[in-house]
Amino acid sequence: MQHQSLSTSIGLVMFVVFSTVFAQVPFPGQCPEVKIMDTFDLDAYMGIWYEHSKYPFAFEIGKKCIYANYENVDNSTVSVVNAAINRFTGNPTNVTGTAKVLAPAQLAVTFSKNRLYLFVIFIAFCFILEVANKANYLVLGTDYKSYAVVYSCTALTPLAHLKLVWILTREREATTATIDDAHKILDDNKISQTVLINTLQKNCPQLEGNATDAALLQLDENEFDGNALNEAIERA
């Protein structure tokens, strides 16, 4: 009993540190059950998706024009490129990774560790990115042409878990109807929308292949609100 109590205490400490430092959204209890798509057309899902909104995510602070590009490598492997613009410097950034298809609409995503900061991310998210052993990219719903709702959940202790949610769209600035369809997926799964933060997709460069051309970018000094993340966490 004493060993179990100590393990629980350590787990709670790890949970508090992890959620505070990396700005993930904590929720009580175990990961809830969600409805993952029964059938999934991987080929139709490939291509560029723009990030419309997401749960607070520390490694996206100060980023705009965020998008992901997925390309088939083979029947069970997808190459991943996540790219963005730094809102302070105007410089483009990107990370590359691989997604293994474990089941329909269930992928295990890992990112390259060839840079120091990516290695730090890899270690920090070892509970989430379990080296392609566990699905951490669950597609709850998509029509392939306009929106996709992606979900990930990690139980860090018996008493609490961390969730990540992304709404992706095929257009940089999606229509209200498209976002309503995505929100319905979250409603159907009883996933809170209170902490969703919209991603800035204005004054973004045109894409050429997988690249982001910073020379096309026009920065707006007033577009970054440093309080957005803190306000979202407080609302949780």
DSSP 26-88: EEESSPPP----SS--HHHH-EEEEEEEES--GGGTTEEEEEEEEEEEETTEEEEEEEEEETT
* Prediction pTM value: 0.74
| Six token digits for residue 7 | 């393990």
pLDDT for res 78 = 97
Tell me the per-residue pLDDT of 91-134, one tens digit each, with 9 for 90 and over. 999 999 999 999 999 999 988 754 434 444 444 444 444 444 68
Residue 115 main-chain phi, psi, to 5 deg = -120, 150
- What was the pLDDT predicted at 211? 44
Write down the pLDDT at residue 152: 92
Who wins on pLDDT, 125 or 212? Answer: 125
Which residue pairs, CB below 8 angstroms and at least 24 apart, start in 75-79?
Answer: 75/101, 76/100, 76/101, 77/101, 78/42, 78/46, 78/107
- Which amino acid, residue 17? V
At the topology level, CATH places domain 2-235 in: Lipocalin (2.40.128)
Residue type at position 71: E
Of all residues in the chain, what percent carry a pLDDT higher than 90? Answer: 50
Q: Give me the sign of the Cα torsion angle 100, 144, 209, 200.
A: negative
